[in-house]
Amino acid sequence: MAQTFNWSIRVYIEDTDVGGVVFYANYLKFFERARTEWLRSLDVNQQSLMDQHGIIFIVKSAAVDYHAPARLDDEVTLTVSAGRIGRASVQFVQEAWCGAKLLATGQIRIGCVNMAGLRPAPIPAEILAKIRKVV
């Protein structure tokens, strides 16, 4: 069973739509930030990936199901669980929660690409080892 990483954010006015709820696309931003913090918790810095390895992670696919709205000033807890790991990609399951209420569920697949041509590149072995440690 994969370890689940949790990271919390506060909903600001800029995150909401005219109806006062979190704009649906912002969940993708929230999920992105949580994955970045998950990597940081594994001692993987995205700037270092660019500088030392010439690679970046990109979103290859994303599917989000929305269950309930978050509103201004809510504290939203985002979860990150890594699933299938390939040579150049990782499948994530992510959730957004407000207390015990599930807000959104995402299936996000990221790919590793080289910065020069944005072509698929293998995830460096030392990074893969850190990811596999928590899966």
17 is catalytic: yes
> Residues with Cβ < 8 Å from 126, sequence gap 6 or more?
none
Q: Are 75 and 10 in contact (CB under 8 A)?
A: yes
CB crowding 79-113: b at 16 or more within 10 Å, else e: bbbbeeeeebbbbbebbbbbeeeebbbbebbbbbb
Of 17, 43, 65, 73, the catalytic one is 17
Active site residues: 17
